[in-house]
Each structure stands twice: as C-alpha cells, then as structure tokens.
Structure 1
Amino acid sequence: MSTPMGFGRMHRKEDARFIRGRGGYVDDVNLPGMLYGAILRSPHAHARIVTIDTSAALAHPKVKAVITGETLAGLNLAWMPTLSADTQAVLATDKVRFQGQEVAFVVAEDRYSARDALELIDVEYDALDAVIDARKSLDPDAPLIRDDHEGRADNKIFDWEAGDKATTDAVFAQAEVAVTQDMLYPRVHPAPLETCGAVADFDKVTGKLTVWCPTQAPHAHRTLYALVAGLPEHKIRVISPDIGGGFGNKVGIYPGYVCAIVGSIVTGKPVKWMEDRSENLMSTSFARDYHMRGEVAATRDGKIQAIRVKVLADHGAFNGTAQPTKFPAGFFHVFTGSYDLQAAHCEVTGVYTNKAPGGVAYACSFRITEAVYLVERMIDVLAMELGADPAELRMKNLLRSEQFPYTSPTGWEYDSGDYQKTLQLAMDMAGYDALRREQAEKRERGELMGIGISFFTEAVGAGPRKHMDILGLGMADGAELRVHPTGKAVLRVSCQSQGQGHETTFAQIVAAELGISPDDVDVVHGDTDQTPFGLGTYGSRSTPVSGAAAAMVSRKVRERARQVAAAMLEASPEDLEWAVNESGGAWTVAGTGAGKTIQEIALAAHSSLELPDGVEGHLDATCVYNPPNLTYPFGAYICVVDVDPGTGQVKVRRFIAVDDCGVRINPMIVEGQVHGGLADGVGMALMQLMAFDEDGNHLGASFMDYLLPTAMECPSWELGETVTPSPHHPIGAKGVGESATVGSPPAVVNAVLDALRPFGVRHADMPLTPAGVWRAMQGNPIRTDLAIS
C-alpha cells in the first residue's frame, strides 16, 4: 500500500492532465452527425423588433434550422426563469434590451456556415432611447425597460434594507465626527480563460437529453432545464467537464444553452454552440456596478460607532443574480466588516438598465466584495479626517477574540476569529513602521509612495437551507463514498471544480478520515448521472459545504467499518479504538493491539463474513450536509505602491497577504488560490472596466479594451497565515477561494490614494488608470457624484 497521507502539501492530481494539455473541455466534445449553432445578436442597446426575415438564411445550402423568438414562443420557451426568480428572454420577441442580446439562432453543418448565415438574417429595428446610468433609470420619464412585466411603472427591481435605522440615526445625531463618501465599484467581468458553450444531444428514441456545458452548478441546471423545456428531469443528463475558469460567470443558464437544446430537438442531431471572446464579454454575466454612499460616525479619538450606507445596484436588463432568495442584495449587509460597532443600517435599491444582465458573484460571496470595499475605503476616509494612522485606527476597532461568536448589528453570527493577531502579523511581515519612515523620506524628495491596508471578513459556504435557497432549491450538498474490496475509494460530490483542485483536496479529506492514501481516492464530479444532488460551486461553498459532506460521509463509512471489524475480531464495537499510523487507519481492540486495517475490513465487508443482525455489508454511505451556519474567513492585506508623478502610472511594489481560512487541507492549493485572487484585485483596482457610451454601445468587447493583469503588473506575493478553526465545521475549515479578490482591491486603492495625500485627494473611483490618477493629482478626481437621497 502507498504511504497514507492526510492534510498537507501534495501536488494536485488534476495537473497530470492539465499541464500536458489533456484536459477535456466542452469544445473537445465531438459527436457523430453534430451540427453547429451561432447566435445573431442585437447591435442596439434598446430597440423594438419590427420584423425578422430568415428566408435567405434558410436558403443557405448548409443551414438546417433558424430559430427565432417566435419559434420558441410556439414551444413556450421564449422566456426562462433567472436564478433571482426574474424572467429573461431566450431570444428576443418584443424588443432587445441590451447590445449583444440574443435575437436568432442558426444551426448549420459547420461552425463557419452558421456564422456566415447570420449575415443573411434581416432584422428591422425601431431604436429606442437607452438607459445606461443607474441613477437616471429611476427618473420618472426614463424609458421603461421591462415593459413585459404587466403593471410595471418604473425600472426599480427591489428596495431592501438591513440593520436598525432608528438606532443608527440616533448614533449619528450624537457623533463627534461623521464622514461621508460616494464611491462606485464599477462593472467588471470574470473573463474566464474558456468562454461559455454547450453541446446538446436529444435522443428522440429514448427521450434522453444530454447536455455538456461548463456549468458551476450541474444539478441546478438540470432542474431548470426540466422546468424550461418541460422534459422529465430524470431524462436529462448534464455533464460539466473540465472548466477553464468560472469565477461565477458559469453559474447561470445562458440563452445559448437553451438554443442548443432546442436546436437538437428540432433537427434530431447533436448541436454545439460555443461563443467567442467578444460574445462572452458583451453578453454573459457581469459583476459589481454598485453606486454606494457610505457614512461613518466616530469619536474624536477614533472609536467607530456606526456605519450607514445607501446603494444603487445596476442589475442590467434582466435580474440574473445568483443570490439566495431571502437576500436580493446578496450578503451586502455583512458591510459592518470586521469592526465593533454600536449600530449599522443599509438600504439597497436594485434597478434595470440597458446593459447585459449583471450581478454574478464574481469570485466573491454574494456582494461581500462591494461591502468590504466600501467599509475599508470609509476607514481610510475617517483616518484622513482624524489625521490617524490607518493601521492603528483598524487595530483599535477590530473585533476582539473573546467576542466570538459575534453577532453583527445586521444579524450575522461570525463563528471565530483573532483579528488583531492577523493584522499584527501582516504589519510585522511588511515592516510597517519602516515603510512609513521610508514614505516620509520619499515625500520630502517629491516621490510618491503609498501604503494601503485592508482588513476583511468574508461570509462563505451558503447555507443552511432553511435560510438560503435559489428558486426553492435549498443550499445543501450531497456526497457518496464507496470503498471497494481492495480498499480503493470513490467519492462522488455535487460541487464542480473550475480549477480549485477538488480532486486533490477532497481526496485528502477522505484519506485523513480513513487513514488511506489520497492516491487511492478517486473524486467524481460534474455529471448529474454520477453524483448526488447539490447546488454547485460559487461563493466559496466547496470546502465549507461539500468538503464538510466529504468528511461526514467518510465518518459514516468509518463507523460502518467498526461494525465489520468487530465481527472480524469477535469483539464488541464499543471495545474498538480508531488509530492512524504509518500503516494506515485501523480499528483495534483496546489494550490488545489486535486490529484490522481499512483495507482488510473492506475485503471482509464484501466477503462471506457473518455480520450481526442489522449490520449491512459493503463499505459505502451517503450524506447530505446542511451547514448550521456560514463560515467566516478573514485576512489582513498591506499593499505598497509607487506612483509616477509625471504620468500617474502605478507600480505595485509589494503585497503582503495574511489569510485565516481555518484549517488548511492543502497549503499549496490555498496559496495558489490566494495568488489568483490577488492578481484579480490588482486588475480591478488599476485597469478593469466595462464601459458603455450614452447609446449603450459596449466599449470593452475585446482584451484590447478590457485589460487584464499579467505577471508584469503583479509583484512577488508575500503570504502569511493564521489559523482559527471554525467551531461548527467538521474539520474546522472555512474556505479561501474568494478571499483575496475581496480583500485586495481596497488595499490597492488605499495605497494609491495614500500616495496622493500630498495633493489632498480623498477619493477616486476604480480603475485607477494612469489617466485617472493623473487627473486626481490635478484636482479633478474621478467621482460618481451620486444623487442618492
């Protein structure tokens, strides 16, 4: 037997295929007789459809079908539910509501003919005024975007609030100091390496539909396909193979998926649809686009007392956010962050605009990224007002370890933490005092150096299901574990990896629980016919929920192994002790040394061994894990930047990231996740922006216009860790996949604005491009000037 391993560094099992180019992606799926689909998209952001003439396209010798909204309406498929219980047009019928919206779907013999045939479709549009500014969408005379909703009179989606308004207002009325700042977290895009696509194969003989698509939530997709297409759910199989990055972009169902399914049903052939990069950037789920006004009340000596927030959330033309039903604004009301407050109150208004549907949880847990950015910027604004050191101000107001479990003013119960220890470690690693001295010396020479700090608390692992669901589907995850007669194990999980290393991490969990090698554990995911039901991977749910399910199902198998071992040893189960040593895991008779390893027990469980009444053979079990609470990872980040005073160019010189994600299963994977998130944060802070002109034309439909960070823009990350186990998680893990994306943007922005203090700049909105920084230095910072009353 190979050497048993548990938690610790080991190379990812997935890398054997990935680094050799042997991964299997949706575009690698090629079936006999397969046809190809292409989507005609609207050039307008807002326009009525007068006519659609498809005759020339249908006359193309290689075109097999042209599907329009009218075609789908006849099948009752013109509209589909979104994950926020809104509706979204599959193909536009009445009008288009954003540039790039799907209008028609061509099915042809090859990819090129399908694309060519799009040019043959003649659509007559009656252009309408577009609403791009979320603030203007609420004007009484603004064009109505969702006139498909009977009785709708405006573009408002929801009004939502959390916290105690009366108490918060009373604290502000008595505050010695109060600061206010408007800010925008601009619209950004996950931009995964692999774009979205689908291969649909409907078998008319069996009535079975198989769909390959790069979804982060295969089981949720299957259920929604059943609801939309009217097919029996047990006749639908969704396969999500290797995914080239998800970041929330691949949670929802896109019209192209439904069109591929309909194309297969209509033609009787498999149909593949793959979008190009411009389509992905223009029409798939965006993130952020939050216009925020923050207010902080404090004493003169820097004790923060209350936070008050108003938000205008731009959700695009359809509300496609993947939020739990009870939380239309996501988990934004964790905006109190990591600080000890008397009171807090927030109001969020969601609106429609003529942009692609937004609100995806892009590498964050349901809007916590925006919340952390807001509060961390407000702490620096307060520090500037008081003339206080940003690190000292945070240290003074952070929650203390003895306060956990801590219930926030908006009702969230943080599980555990030692915040001061984490911040102090980051400051020690950075050499904080020496950095401040260096900064002072450089300022005397006219050099611009900035030091930015952020401290964040995340809320991840969406559940329990009594509080959290999507379209009525509760957020609990399943796991199935089977140990074969030779002691090799197969774990089946409902979550879906997009590069996080699930096949390694979950194998390590099972290995640690059963005392076997991770190499002897195969992890199966991404196939609804082969895995238990669950709501997928997003919001850092993998380890907090599916990882917990893996641990719990392993313990069930271990307990069953105790019963079998007792029969083998002719002992009482109560007399057996579990032990893991160099030989692996074994049940032994207390005080005798006699025992049986998991491998020996597995073979006996499948043999003719006579077992006690009520004890089944085989070593397998199932589990549905319903988390009792979220988990709350946290971290302290320090960023050091240099700014060129002549050009506004920002160079990130150092970045120190200390994360506490509870127990670390594989530190190497954790570090890789943090590296990726930090790069994300640098990109959002300094270069990423989904921009539109006043007519709704999308200005970032290629990587020439929508910039992503490279190794040239990123420093060598300096990582540290503290470990505060979650008290309610089976292995004490909290999750880390999105933490760095949450904590890094405010650290970078705070650093840049700290460098610009000699110019009196209090705030400038992301992205802090060289032009934006230069303008701020000239006294014209980019501002949102929100009209939020």
Structure 2
Amino acid sequence: METPMGYGSMRRKEDARFIRGRGTYVDDVTLPGMLYGAVLRSPFAHARIVSIDTKAAEAHPKVRAVITGAILDGLKLAWMPTLSYDTQAVLATDKVRFQGQEVAFVVAEDRYAARDALELIDVEYEPLPAVVDARRALDPDAPVIRDDKDGKTDNHIFDWSSGDKDATDRVFSEAEVVVTQDVLYPRVHPAPLETCGAIADFDKVTGKLTIWCNTQAPHAHRTVYAMVAGLPEHKIRIISPDIGGGFGNKVGIYPGYVCAVVGSIVTGRPVKWMEDRSENLMSTSFARDYHMRGEIAATRDGKIRAVRVSVIADHGAFNGTAQPTKFPAGFFHVFTGSYDLEAAHCAVTGVYTNKAPGGVAYACSFRVTEAAYLIERMVDVLAYELGTDPAALRMRNLLRPEQFPYPSPTGWEYDSGDYPRALALAMDIAGYDDLRAEQAAQRERWAAGEVGGTLMGVGISFFTEAVGAGPRKHMDILGLGMADGAELRVHPTGKAVLRISVQSQGQGHETTYAQIVAEELGISPDDIEVVHGDTDQTPFGLGTYGSRSTPVSGAATAVVARKVRERARIVAGAMLEVSPEDLEWEKGRWFVRGDPDQGRTITEIALAAHSSLELPEGVEGHLDATTVYNPPNLTFPFGAYICVVDVDPGTGRVKVRRFVAVDDCGVRINPMIVEGQVHGGLADGIGMALMELIAFDPDGNCLGASFMDYLLPTSMECPSWELGATVTPSPHHPIGAKGVGESATVGSPAAVVNAVLDALKPFGVRHADMPLTPAAVWRAIQGAPLRTDLAIG
C-alpha cells in the first residue's frame, strides 16, 4: 500500500476498553441525586392543542416536576434555533406538527415513575389534516404547517440552484439522445446503537451547567445552549463520552436535551433523559427524502454532454438540516458525479411536511449520497437506452488524471484522481468479463425457454465525494466557521497529549490521530494520549460529520505536530550549540547537517525544553503548540463499486452474491481502520437499497418506529467484502489524506440497485425505487413483459 513509513495497520487503542465492556456511554453515567426525565409525545401528525392538564401527573408521589410549553414560554425557552436558521418548538404550545412531537416533560425519582406519569397527563387535541407527500405539500390548498411564522401561507422553505441553466438548456436542445427518469431516495434513519440522551446538571451556586450528551459536535452544542438558555458560554461544559454510533443523528440539539437542562434548573438536581428506540426512530433526525427528476443529454455513441436535475426536498415539520449556511441543499452540487460534462444545472426546492425534521447529514456528506445515487442511476438508464455496457459507458466518460484539479460545471474544484485506474481495478478484481459471460449464458437459457432458478445481475457505481467541510469563508453553521483546532503538548519525559475538537463516534480517532503525531514527531503512538469530547479540555471546533475528521482535524493534528517539531529544532540547536538552520530532521531526532552522530531525540529535547537550558532571546521553553486549521478546499475521495446479485423472479428475493469496492481516500493512515469504515458503509448501503424505509400513512402515522418494521441488514444479508484501493494524495492536505468515513455509504446503494435492475432487464424493467424489497421487486417484474431481445450489458 502506498503509505508513508510510520503509517500502517495497528490495533485500535480504544478497543481495549470496548471489548472488555468498559466503555462509558451517556446512559452509563449516574450522578448523586440524579432524577429522570421522560417526554410525552403527540399521537397525531397534525393537531391543534386545546388544553393540557398536568394535575394528576404532578400529584404522583415520585414526580418532581412537569414541564409544558407554556412554562417554557414564560422562561423564553419555548422555541430554539435549528442548525439552518429555522426555529423549532421545544415543547409544542400552539399545535403539534408531526407524530411524536414533544408536548410535555416529566421529571421523576426513577425512569419508570417518569414514564408512568406520562399516562396521567391529559391533552385535548383538535386533529387537523396532515400532509406527508412533499409534492402535495406545495399545492395551494395544502394544510399550512408552519403557521407560527408571521405571514406564512404555504409550505415552501427555499429555492436553490447550481450550475449554468442557459448553457445546460442549450446542450439539451442540441442533444442526439435525452433520457429522463424520476428517482426517489426515500426517507431512512441512522438508527445508531445508542439512542440520543443527555444528563444536565446545573449548579445554582457556581452557575455552571454541565451536560453529558452523546453529541457529535460538543462545541457547537455549547454555543447553541448559550444562545437558547442565555447562560454565559464559559459557564457551560459539554462532555461527550463514548458514542454508540452517530451517523449524523447526533449532530443537532433535540428538545429532550433542552428539557433536561430546564428540569435541572427547576429541581436543582441532575436530570437524565434517554429516549427509547421507538422515540429515536419516530422523532429524531431522518435523512434523504429527495424526490428527484434527472435528465442526461448524450450523443448516440455514448458521450455524456450535460445533466439537468430538479429536486423536491422533504425537510419535515422544521428545517433542522445540518448544512452549511450557503448550501441549503448541502453538497448536492456533485450530482455531476465523476464525469466530464459540458454543462450541468440543478434546482432544489425545500418543503415542510408533517414528518419529523429531516435532512440530517446521515453518513452522506451533506446530500452527496443522493447526488451520487441519482447520477449513477441515470448513467445506467442511459446505458439501457443505448444498449451499451454500463462499465464501458462509464469508462468513456470518466474524468482523466490530466484534468485535475478539475473545475466542475457547478463550481467545485476536484483536487486529484485517477478514475479510470480505480474502475479498471474493480473490474479486474470482480472478473467483470467472466461475470458478463456467465450472465449472457444464463439469459440465453431463459430465451430458449429454460425458465427457472435465479437471475444474475451486475451493478456498477462510480462516485466522487466532497468531504471535509470548510473553508470557513464559504461554510458555516449558525455563523460558526467550519475550522478545527488542535493542541499538542509534549511532556518532559517525551510523552504527549493531543487535544482535538472533533468527537469520535467509532472511527478510531484515538488511534489515527496518535499515528499522525507519531509520524510527525517519532513518538510511539502508545505514548500519545488523544483527548476529545469535553469542551473544557479541548479547543473549539464544529464537530464530526460530513466525513470531516481526517480532512480537517487530521490536518490540524499534522500542522500542530509540525509546529512542535520546529520548536524542538530551536531547542535542539541550543543543546548542540549550532544554528537551528544547520539541523536536519529524521524521524524522532534533529541532527547536525553533515554529522549525523551529533543529534538529539525528541525525548531528550522535551526534557531540555523544560530545563534550565538557555534558549535564544524571545524563544519560550516547553514543546507545546496550538493551531486552528482552515482547509483551503474540500477533499474529494472517490471509488468504483461492483455488486453481483441473484434475484428469484418468483418471490422477488435478492441475494447479494459478491461486492467489490475499490476506494481512493488519498493517503491511508491506518488501512485496517479504513477497511473497517468501508465494511460498515457497504452494509449500510445494502440496507438502504434493499430494506430500510421510514414510511407514513396518509394521516402521518410513522410506520417504521421499531426494528420489527424498520429493517436493518445483518451478516446474513452481507457477503464477504472484496476490497481494493488506489492512492491519489490530496495536493492541499498536509498529509495527502481525503477521508473515507462515508464513501461506502455514498457509493454502495447505487451499485446494489443497478445490479438488481440489471438482473431484471429481461423483463423490460428500467427503474424501480428503493428499497427493493422482495415485494417491490416482484411488483416490478409483474409490471413488464419478458424480453428476450435485450442486449447483454
């Protein structure tokens, strides 16, 4: 593998506690005198609140407080800002706007009493018509959901566009071939292992508020709490311990967090709130829910010239998306994918519906997943139309290495890549020609009337992802620039502590960042402690999501380590009585140029930096440094995926036989961790393609509020992954890394869907929407006649 010396696979440092069951999650934290909170949620998707009677609940012997929206309104806490400059009710006051919305909060001596007391609260509702279809929500006669906003008479949130519309329309008017397809990326849920929760402890004596919360963005949470509660920010401490998965679900602030804070202020005791699984699935941030119409303009011989897209984005009852301010549709700009185009244009309209707030950056790098899925489905639709092999079509249109850095038609600059090499490697690993030959023989038997058994499908996707949210001059959330800090301190004995602003949710930060410091300074990773998840102990930063950990905070780590190394150079010069300019670095030591025997190790230098050694005037001692890293550009990892499926036409059942994934995430710090990230993302993609769906009935009732209804993939549905890699360093990242946390989730759904639809080609099926459950596949087959004249591939 093309990695610098010093980087490489090593066991994760954090696993020592995890595999022994010694991790500390929010629900593991118990404080003296702690009370427990529970949320009363609306059974209706849309209803006016006539009255709330809490007397019976307040009379419960173990209840210490019952909080309603009216109480919060008196404290000026009834509404809170979302991460998209919208507002969201903490507890509903006027009406409820989605099933599961928070109506009241009970604080009791134990969690069972708190739950029991919810049944004693009497709420009178006046049901209102609900709208759960984003297209229907735009109708003039649709129920207005956000009538709390002055003058609001419709459900429109925003209109946003990217690219050159006139140039795109001109190419389409000249095109030899135009294909159009409506594509739905349905609403799905991150479903983390640990649900959302918080413990709030307000000290009335010191005025200090401490919150244990499983958030991906501790510092951003602290700032928002200061905005909401009016408390001085330096009096708020957020502690985010081990997180049982986040995937974007734990970026925003939920009403339960705020209610726990208010409960602690009211009672004078710590208050814990932990949601159950149904609450998590029903009311916390969803993802996707994009209704997309894609068009491709091409020549008859398969040259893609332009892409045109229109989107209706369902954001639920409150616009709670964690997107950069300037990009309300996230990084959907990359809908042009990995292809060399003359022009492109997209238009996105955001809409309110009677669903829980959606649009979270769920392992999707700010809507890149939807964009990648659309373009990869459209390329397969074009291949279907032209009767050409989808791999050959992609290979013809992929960007070439000499085109980088590549200015995309929508204004992004892709940093580096060798796309044809990645696709060729994936095809080689898969044995692509042999797969097509096997498929052709199978289809010949079908054409001859030998119907029976399964149908084989081969699906391809090629994706380019945009990650590492920044630079801050272009990207912020609530006015907070998307840059990250890092602090590094080397103790006198040569041991080091690195403090970072991003929060791990399972990616192995404690190992990866230690490896970066080890590579830069020559200190063993075992002697480097990585501190994160505590706002009193770490520098400010915007958190972990959008696969920004290594692209931004990893870069900050490299930069701060290099600052320490340069400081060590000055100290070494004083120790060796030479000018620092006369020293050269080799891993772990500075030595005199031309005399390698005259040198000092980083451990020796660290001790001297804390000693009575006389340093040059104006030079401070110690080996400490801080930095704030503002990335000059996003990074653009990419990959080529090939999926092989077998489809039973009698039942519609899909079995994933093989999955080949070739990823290029730039320099790989720890290949084992990278592969683990890819494994998880591939399983995630299979789940979204074949089974995951948050559905609603016409009244807005959530039909996916348990794991009996919302299905997740298991090892039984996943094959043994076949991984490959190319390494194309990012030219602007300090160590050439690009990030990989979301790549497999971005690229895999399209590969699976394309494989299933490839299997269904003999039936004339051109497209079917996810999830491709057995019932959906069976219906697609029944809706089209058997075709025996379709070109293979």
TM (norm. structure 1) is 0.98
Map 1:493-572 onto structure 2 (within 5 A). 493-572=500-579
Map 1:37-56 onto structure 2 (within 5 A). 37-56=37-56
Corresponding residue of 1:787: none
> Aligned letter for 1:508?
Q
1:776 to 767, 780, 783: 780
The answer (yes or no) to whether the contact 1:452–1:749 under 8 Å persists in 2 is: yes
Residue 467 of structure 1: how far off its partner (Å): 0.1
Q: Distance in 1 between matches of 2:111 and 2:30?
A: 13
Corresponding residue of 2:483: 476
Cα distance per residue 1:411-462 (max 9 Å; x no partner): 0000000000000000000000000000111223334100000000000000
Q: Distance in 2 between matches of 1:99 and 1:332?
A: 29
> Aligned letter for 1:588?
F
Residue 93 of structure 1: how far off its partner (Å): 0.4
> Aligned letter for 2:292?
M
Cα distance per residue 1:2-42 (max 9 Å; x no partner): xx983101000010000111000000110110000000000
Corresponding residue of 2:332: 332
Residue 597 of structure 1: how far off its partner (Å): 0.2
> Aligned letter for 1:532?
P
Map 1:198-213 onto structure 2 (within 5 A). 198-213=198-213
TM (norm. structure 2) is 0.97
Q: Secondary structure at the match of 1:205?
A: coil
The answer (yes or no) to whether the contact 2:764–2:784 under 8 Å persists in 1 is: no
The answer (yes or no) to whether the contact 2:763–2:784 under 8 Å persists in 1 is: no
Cα distance per residue 1:226-267 (max 9 Å; x no partner): 000000000000000000000000000000000000000000
> Aligned letter for 1:200?
A
Q: Secondary structure at the match of 1:500?
A: coil
Q: Secondary structure at the match of 1:186?
A: strand
| 1:169 partnered with 2:185 | no
Residue 622 of structure 1: how far off its partner (Å): 0.1
Q: Distance in 2 between matches of 1:122 and 1:295?
A: 52
The answer (yes or no) to whether the contact 1:586–1:598 under 8 Å persists in 2 is: yes
1:456 to 463, 468, 474: 463
Residue 353 of structure 1: how far off its partner (Å): 0.1
1:730 to 734, 742, 759: 734
Q: Distance in 2 between matches of 1:356 and 1:152?
A: 19
2:621 to 598, 617, 621: 617
Cα distance per residue 1:566-623 (max 9 Å; x no partner): 000000000000012xxxx100001112000000000000001111101110000000
Corresponding residue of 2:449: none
The answer (yes or no) to whether the contact 1:5–1:517 under 8 Å persists in 2 is: no
| 1:586 partnered with 2:589 | yes
| 1:753 partnered with 2:757 | yes
> Aligned letter for 2:509?
H
> Aligned letter for 2:512?
T
Q: Sequence identity of aligned pairs in percent?
A: 85
> Aligned letter for 1:677?
G
The answer (yes or no) to whether the contact 1:6–1:517 under 8 Å persists in 2 is: no
The answer (yes or no) to whether the contact 1:511–1:517 under 8 Å persists in 2 is: yes
Corresponding residue of 1:599: 603
Corresponding residue of 1:636: 640
The answer (yes or no) to whether the contact 1:548–1:729 under 8 Å persists in 2 is: yes
> Aligned letter for 1:115?
R
Cα distance per residue 1:254-281 (max 9 Å; x no partner): 0000000000000000000000000000
Q: Secondary structure at the match of 1:700?
A: coil
Corresponding residue of 2:225: 225
The answer (yes or no) to whether the contact 2:765–2:784 under 8 Å persists in 1 is: no
Residue 680 of structure 1: how far off its partner (Å): 0.2
The answer (yes or no) to whether the contact 1:6–1:518 under 8 Å persists in 2 is: no
Cα distance per residue 1:261-320 (max 9 Å; x no partner): 000000000000000000000000000000000000000000000000000000000000
Q: Distance in 1 between matches of 2:165 and 2:704?
A: 39
Segments ≥4 residues shifted beyond 3 Å:
none
The answer (yes or no) to whether the contact 1:137–1:351 under 8 Å persists in 2 is: yes
Residue 645 of structure 1: how far off its partner (Å): 1.4
The answer (yes or no) to whether the contact 1:202–1:210 under 8 Å persists in 2 is: yes
Corresponding residue of 1:160: 160
Corresponding residue of 2:474: 467
Q: Secondary structure at the match of 2:520?
A: helix
Stretches of structure 2 lacking an aligned partner (at least 5 in a row): 447-453, 786-793
Q: Distance in 2 between matches of 1:431 and 1:548?
A: 37
Residue 153 of structure 1: how far off its partner (Å): 1.5
Q: Secondary structure at the match of 1:603?
A: helix
Q: Secondary structure at the match of 1:179?
A: strand
Residue 780 of structure 1: how far off its partner (Å): 6.6
Map 1:376-395 onto structure 2 (within 5 A). 376-395=376-395
Q: Distance in 1 between matches of 2:273 and 2:784?
A: 46
Corresponding residue of 1:106: 106
Q: Distance in 2 between matches of 1:520 and 1:442?
A: 58
The answer (yes or no) to whether the contact 1:5–1:508 under 8 Å persists in 2 is: no
Corresponding residue of 1:486: 493
Q: Distance in 1 between matches of 2:625 and 2:98?
A: 48
2:631 to 624, 627, 634: 627
> Aligned letter for 1:229?
A
Corresponding residue of 2:8: 8
Map 1:103-502 onto structure 2 (within 5 A). 103-446=103-446, 447-502=454-509
Kindly tell me: are residues 572 and 294 of structure 1, through their superposed partners in 2, closer, same or farther at Cα, counting changes over 3 Å? same
Aligned length: 774
The answer (yes or no) to whether the contact 2:63–2:113 under 8 Å persists in 1 is: yes
Corresponding residue of 2:450: none
Stretches of structure 1 lacking an aligned partner (at least 5 in a row): 782-789
Q: Distance in 2 between matches of 1:459 and 1:160?
A: 19
